[in-house]
C-alpha cells in the first residue's frame, strides 16, 4: 500500500486543510486506519476555526475570478481533471478500497464514476441554458438565465468517499461555483488524494487558489459550514439524523440544501420474475459494499406462490459468498467500516429475532486469520414483517429481510410502507406490473427500476430520493440547476413604459 500512497502524494503525516494549492492544518490529529486489516494508514491534522475562516475567505476571493471564466473554459478544467483521474484510477481505486473496505472492483468503479461525471460536466458546460418567454407587453423581451451561487459546501460520507464529492464538484465547477469539501473523518486520505490530483491541474493552468478546498474533522467542522451564511448551498450525504440537523440549520439562515440521506430499499419479486436475474440482483444489492450503500437492498417482497423458491435460491447463493480482504478479487464481501458498525449489525440481528423474525441465514462476527480488524461479519437473511421496528430502520450492514405478499397492491403498499424513499425495484416480465410499478400509484421512491436491483446508478440520471431520504438530486439530468441561481429578465426596447396586467399609472 505504501507505493499507492506515494503515487497519490500522501505521506505519513498529512495536512487535512487545503485552499487549492496550499495544504495546512494545526488542529488535532485523527488517525485513518483500514478496516481491511486494522492497520494505521496515516494521520491527518484537522481544521481549526481560524483555518476555517481562511478557507472561506480564500474561496470567496477565488469565486470572484472563477465566475467570470466562460463556462466552456471551466469545462476544460474539469476535462483535464477527468483525464488525470484516468491516469491515477488504479492507485486511487486501491486507496478507496483499503481505507473504506469496499472491494477493489467497487473502488475502481467509484473512480470511474468520477471520470463519468467529469465527462458529463464538460458537455454541460456548453448547455447551461435559460428560457425566452413571450411578454404580454409590446416591444418587451423576457428571459430566464442562470448565474453561479458562490461557495458550495459538500459534506460527504465514508461509504462513497470520493464519488459523491465529484458528483457535486464537477457540476459546481462548470456552473461557476467554488467548493469546500468536508470529507468523512473515517476516510480523510482519499479526500487529500483527490485534492492532490486537482492541484496538478490547477498548477498546469495557473488557476487561482481557492477553487477547490478541503476541511477535515468531526461534526463540529461541518457545523461551522452549515451555519455559515457565506456558503449559500450545502450538499450533505449521510444519515437521516444528520440530514435533519443540517437541513434545519441551513433553513434557519434561508440557505439552500441538497440532502442525500438513508434508504430502505426493496425489491418486489412477482410470479413472472426471472429467478436467476432476481438472485444476482438481490445478492449484489444486499452484500455489495457489505450492505453499506444508501441504495443497498434491505427488503425483498416476494409473491407467496414463489416465496420458497426465491428463498431457497437466495440461501444457496449466500452459501457461496467469500468474505475477506476486499483487495483480493476472489472475495465478494469486505469488512464494515468500523466496530461501531459491527455493533449496529449485531443489534439489528438481535432485534429482528426479538420482534418475532426468523434468521434463515445466520450472521455473526468473523474471527481468526484475515479477520484481525474485527470488522468482518457474515451477511444474514431474516424472515420478517414490514411493520417490525428494526425493518423500518436502515441498518448499514448486510442484513436482508424477506416478506410475502398476495396481491400487487399489497406489494406496492409494503414497498412504500417505510419512512425512506430512495431506491426500489421490481422483478417481473409482466408488462402491466412493470408499468404500474413506475406509475404515480407505484413506487414512491426517487429511483424505480425494472429487472435490475436497487443498487447502482448511472451518471446520466439525477440521483436522489423522497420522504426522509431528503428530496435532493445530484449528478445528471438537470441537477445542475441546484448549483445556480435563476434570474428573470425583462428588457423594454419600446419608447413607452406599459405596465403588466394592463395597469394604468399616469403622472
- Residue intervals of the chain classified under CATH 3.40.605.10 are 2-261+470-487
- Pick from 470, 463, 421: nearest CA to 266: 421
- Residue intervals of the chain classified under CATH 3.40.309.10 are 265-450
For the stretch 404-408, contacts whose Cβ atoms lie closer than 8 Å and that sit 24 or more positions apart, written own/partner, are 404/301, 404/302, 404/303, 404/304, 404/307, 405/268, 405/301, 405/302, 405/303, 405/304, 406/303, 406/304, 408/270, 408/433, 408/436
CATH 3.30.420.40 at 265-450, yes or no: no
Distance CA 189, CA 32 (A): 7
Contact 44, 187 (CB under 8 A): no
Question: Which residues, 6+ apart, have CB-to-CB distance to 373 below 8 Å?
Answer: 34, 35, 36, 37, 38, 335
Distance CA 236, CA 471 (A): 12
Distance CA 500, CA 263 (A): 47
What is the pLDDT, as a whole number, of residue 156?
A: 98
Pure H helices in 101-139: 104-124
What is the pLDDT, as a whole number, of residue 25?
A: 85
CATH number of 2-261+470-487: 3.40.605.10
What is the pLDDT, as a whole number, of residue 142?
A: 98
Contact 133, 220 (CB under 8 A): no
DSSP 8-state class, residue 1: -
What is the pLDDT, as a whole number, of residue 13?
A: 65
Q: What angle do CA 404, 407, 411 make, to 5 degrees?
A: 55
- With cell 483521474, the residue in question is 85
Active-site residues, by number, are: 260
470: left (phi over 0), alpha (psi -120 to 50) or beta: left
Contact 295, 422 (CB under 8 A): yes
Q: What is the pTM of this model?
A: 0.96
- Each of the 507 residues of the chain gets a pLDDT tens digit; together they read 999 999 999 986 689 999 988 898 899 999 999 999 999 999 999 999 999 999 999 999 999 999 999 999 999 999 999 999 999 999 999 999 999 999 999 999 999 999 999 999 999 999 999 999 999 999 999 999 999 999 999 999 999 999 999 999 999 999 999 999 999 999 999 999 999 999 999 999 999 999 999 999 999 999 999 999 999 999 999 999 999 999 999 999 999 999 999 999 999 999 999 999 999 999 999 999 999 999 999 999 999 999 999 999 999 999 999 999 999 999 999 999 999 999 999 999 999 999 999 999 999 999 999 999 999 999 999 999 999 999 999 999 999 999 999 999 999 999 999 999 999 999 999 999 999 999 999 999 999 999 999 998 899 999 999 999 999 999 999 999 999 999 999 999 999 999 999 999 988
Handedness of CA 237, 241, 246, 248 (dihedral sign): positive
Beta-bridged to residue 214, according to DSSP, are 18, 181
Amino acid at each position: 500500500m505504501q507505493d499507492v500512497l506515494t503515487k497519490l502524494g500522501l505521506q505519513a503525516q498529512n495536512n487535512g486543510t487545503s485552499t487549492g494549492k496550499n495544504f495546512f492544518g494545526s488542529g488535532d490529529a485523527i488517525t485513518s486506519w483500514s478496516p481491511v486489516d486494522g492497520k494505521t494508514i496515516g494521520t491527518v491534522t484537522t481544521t481549526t476555526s481560524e483555518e476555517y475562516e481562511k478557507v472561506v475567505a480564500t474561496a470567496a476571493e477565488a469565486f470572484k475570478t472563477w465566475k467570470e471564466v466562460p463556462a466552456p473554459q471551466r469545462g476544460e478544467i474539469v476535462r483535464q481533471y477527468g483525464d488525470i483521474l484516468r491516469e491515477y484510477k488504479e492507485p486511487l481505486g486501491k486507496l478507496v478500497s483499503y481505507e473504506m473496505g469496499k472491494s477493489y472492483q467497487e473502488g475502481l468503479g467509484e473512480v470511474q464514476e468520477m471520470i463519468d461525471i467529469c465527462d458529463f460536466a464538460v458537455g454541460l458546460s456548453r448547455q447551461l441554458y435559460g428560457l425566452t418567454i413571450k411578454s404580454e407587453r409590446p416591444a418587451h423581451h423576457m428571459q430566464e438565465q442562470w448565474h453561479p451561487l458562490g461557495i458550495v459546501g459538500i459534506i460527504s460520507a465514508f461509504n462513497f468517499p470520493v464519488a459523491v464529492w465529484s458528483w457535486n464538484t464537477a457540476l459546481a465547477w462548470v456552473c461557476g461555483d467554488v467548493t469546500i469539501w468536508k470529507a468523512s473523518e473515517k476516510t480523510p486520505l482519499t479526500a487529500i488524494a483527490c485534492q492532490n490530483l486537482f492541484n496538478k491541474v490547477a498548477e498546469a493552468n495557473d488557476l487561482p487558489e481557492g477553487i477547490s478546498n478541503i476541511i477535515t474533522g468531526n461534526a463540529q467542522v461541518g457545523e461551522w459550514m452549515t451555519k455559515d451564511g457565506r456558503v449559500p448551498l450545502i450538499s450533505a450525504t449521510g444519515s437521516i439524523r444528520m440530514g435533519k440537523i443540517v437541513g434545519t440549520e441551513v433553513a434557519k439562515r434561508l440557505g439552500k440544501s441538497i440532502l442525500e440521506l438513508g434508504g430502505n430499499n426493496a425489491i418486489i419479486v412477482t410470479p413472472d420474475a426471472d429467478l436467476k436475474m432476481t438472485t444476482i440482483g438481490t445478492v449484489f444489492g444486499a452484500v455489495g459494499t457489505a450492505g453499506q450503500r444508501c441504495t443497498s437492498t434491505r427488503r425483498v417482497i416476494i409473491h407467496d406462490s414463489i416465496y420458497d423458491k426465491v428463498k431457497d435460491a437466495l440461501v444457496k447463493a449466500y452459501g457461496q459468498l467469500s468474505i475477506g480482504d476486499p483487495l483480493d478479487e476472489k472475495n465478494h464481501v469486505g469488512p464494515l467500516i468500523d466496530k461501531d458498525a459491527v455493533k449496529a449489525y449485531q443489534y439489528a440481528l438481535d432485534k429482528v429475532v426479538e420482534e418475532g423474525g426468523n434468521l434463515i441465514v445466520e450472521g455473526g462476527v468473523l474471527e481468526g486469520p484475515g479477520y484481525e480488524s474485527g470488522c468482518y461479519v457474515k451477511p444474514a437473511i431474516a424472515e420478517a414483517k414490514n411493520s417490525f421496528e428494526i425493518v423500518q430502520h436502515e441498518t448499514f450492514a448486510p442484513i436482508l429481510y424477506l416478506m410475502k405478499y398476495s396481491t400487487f397492491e399489497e406489494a406496492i403498499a409494503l414497498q412504500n410502507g417505510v419512512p425512506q424513499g430512495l431506491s426500489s425495484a421490481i422483478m417481473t416480465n409482466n408488462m402491466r406490473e412493470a408499468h404500474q410499478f413506475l406509475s404515480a400509484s407505484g413506487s414512491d421512491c426517487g429511483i424505480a427500476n425494472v429487472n435490475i436491483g436497487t443498487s447502482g446508478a448511472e451518471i446520466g440520471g439525477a440521483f436522489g430520493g423522497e420522504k426522509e431520504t431528503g428530496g435532493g438530486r445530484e449528478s445528471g439530468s438537470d441537477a445542475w440547476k441546484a448549483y445556480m441561481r435563476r434570474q428573470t429578465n425583462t428588457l423594454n426596447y419600446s419608447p413607452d413604459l406599459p405596465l403588466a396586467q394592463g395597469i394604468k399609472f399616469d403622472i
